[in-house]
């Protein structure tokens, strides 16, 4: 049963102030430095946040936990050091501190307690409904677990499972009106709408009970309202969502109807910049962004992010 119902600090990584906000307070700070040791990161691909705890998966196959100020708390492996296949991409923190991980290349969803002990799993590789191709990201909706899945044409879908791993229904995929190509990030907004970030430069808004497509958002490009490789999406308090665009090296905010409210960031490692941000999570009053190719996580103040038009990039 997945059951939807502490380690002592060892290392502290100082927070780096990245951009000034109102009254001199920072809009963004960063934690993590390149490396494979405690508190160090190697291309973080997934981030989750809840109750002031931040969890991060990176290419070392570790799940690390930090407090909201960036102090390292604990780590445990989710992939063996000798693994030759890819690493997990999906991560959620559950009430009580357990973590749910999508093992992308092993076709499984696994639950770990805070010490790293595996307590439950479901999943078996395959193309049929109820089986997993390459599970990407996870979302809990009540007692349901939603899993985005791609890797083979029949697996361009979001599957819904019960808390015991029993298959309930499929959203998208063959025979549906949701023509996903590479669905990844998942979020439920305040109105109960499911947002699915598809790396093919768009976002789908769906009824999570039926899979009916309500609208699509975006097209390929760099203007506000356009997208390149949207890989992560998270709901915002008060409505709407924020999206991580790995291809545009930025995050973008949308209202509940899908209208762009502006972007933040751009390519680089300077203050307020990103390199291939692959995931993000909201734990008010913060947004946490996996700044993948900068080997760090950036923490942004929700009330201070200066959403605006895209900056002009150099030649």
Alpha-carbon 248 to chain mean position: 16
What is the total residue count of the chain? Answer: 315
Q: What is the per-residue pLDDT across 138-153, written as a single tens digit (0 to 9) for each?
A: 999 999 999 999 888 8
Structure tokens at 282: 């909201």
Instruction: Give bridge partners of residue 19 from the DSSP assignment.
Output: 28
Query: Domain 26-301 falls in which CATH fold?
Result: Neuraminidase (2.120.10)
Judge whether 310 and 69 are in contact, CB under 8 Å: no
- Exposed e or buried b per residue across 79-109, where buried means at least 16 C-beta atoms within 10 angstroms of its C-beta: beeeeeeebbbbbbbbeebbbbbbbbbbbbb
**Alpha-carbon torsion 131, 173, 214, 290, what sign?**
positive
Q: Which is nearest to 67 in space by CA: 11, 129, 25? A: 11
Structure tokens at 70: 């960036």
Check residue 5 and give its pLDDT.
Answer: 56
Question: How far is 303 from 286, CA to CA, in rounded Å?
Answer: 8
The answer to whether residue 131 scores a pLDDT higher than 80 is yes
**Burial bucket for residue 175 (CB in 10 Å: 0-12, 13-18, 19+):** exposed
pTM tops 0.75, yes or no? yes
The answer to whether residue 46 scores a pLDDT higher than 60 is yes
Q: What is the per-residue pLDDT across 163-179, written as a single tens digit (0 to 9) for each?
A: 999 999 999 988 888 88
Question: How far is 222 from 226, CA to CA, in rounded Å?
Answer: 6
The answer to whether residue 18 scores a pLDDT higher than 80 is no
Query: What is the average pLDDT score of the chain?
Result: 89
Look at 23-37, 112-126, 219-233, 263-277 and tell me which has the smallest mean pLDDT: 23-37
Judge whether 32 and 39 are in contact, CB under 8 Å: yes
Question: How far is 112 from 64, CA to CA, in rounded Å?
Answer: 12
Q: At 81, is the pLDDT very low, low, confident or very high (cuts 50, 70, 90)?
A: low
DSSP type of residue 239: S
Check residue 53 and give its pLDDT.
Answer: 96
Q: At 85, is the pLDDT very low, low, confident or very high (cuts 50, 70, 90)?
A: low
Check residue 130 and give its pLDDT.
Answer: 95
Judge whether 35 and 42 are in contact, CB under 8 Å: yes
Could you give the percent of the chain with pLDDT greater than 70? Answer: 89
Structure tokens at 206: 């769906």
Question: How far is 163 from 140, CA to CA, in rounded Å?
Answer: 9
């Amino acid at each position: 049963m997945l059951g939807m119902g502490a380690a002592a600090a060892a290392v502290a990584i100082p927070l780096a102030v990245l951009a000034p906000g109102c009254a001199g307070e920072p809009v963004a700070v960063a934690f993590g430095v390149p490396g494979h040791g405690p508190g160090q990161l190697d291309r973080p691909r997934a981030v989750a946040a809840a109750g002031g705890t931040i969890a991060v998966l990176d290419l070392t196959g570790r799940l690390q936990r930090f407090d909201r100020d960036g102090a390292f708390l604990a780590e445990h492996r989710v992939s063996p050091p000798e693994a030759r296949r890819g690493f997990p991409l999906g991560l959620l923190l559950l009430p009580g501190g357990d973590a749910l991980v999508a093992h992308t290349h092993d076709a499984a969803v696994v639950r770990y307690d805070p010490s790293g002990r595996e307590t439950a799993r479901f999943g078996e590789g395959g193309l049929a409904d109820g089986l997993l191709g390459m599970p990407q990201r996870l979302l809990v909706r009540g007692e349901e677990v939603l899993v985005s899945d791609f890797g083979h044409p029949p697996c361009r879908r979001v599957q819904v499972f019960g808390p015991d791993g029993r298959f309930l229904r499929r959203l998208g995929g063959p025979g549906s009106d949701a023509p996903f190509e590479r669905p990844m990030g998942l979020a439920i907004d305040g109105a109960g709408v499911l947002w699915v970030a598809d790396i093919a430069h768009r976002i789908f808004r769906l009824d999570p009970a039926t899979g009916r497509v309500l609208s699509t958002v975006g097209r390929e490009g760099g203007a506000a309202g356009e997208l390149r490789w949207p890989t992560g999406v998270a709901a915002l308090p008060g409505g709407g969502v924020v999206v991580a665009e790995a291809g545009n090296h930025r995050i973008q905010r949308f209202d509940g109807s899908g209208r762009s409210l502006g972007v933040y960031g751009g390519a680089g490692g300077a203050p307020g910049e990103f390199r291939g941000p692959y995931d993000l999570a909201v734990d008010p009053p913060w947004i946490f962004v996996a700044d993948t190719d900068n080997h760090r996580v950036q923490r942004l103040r929700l009330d201070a992010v200066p959403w605006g038009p895209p900056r002009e990039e150099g030649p």
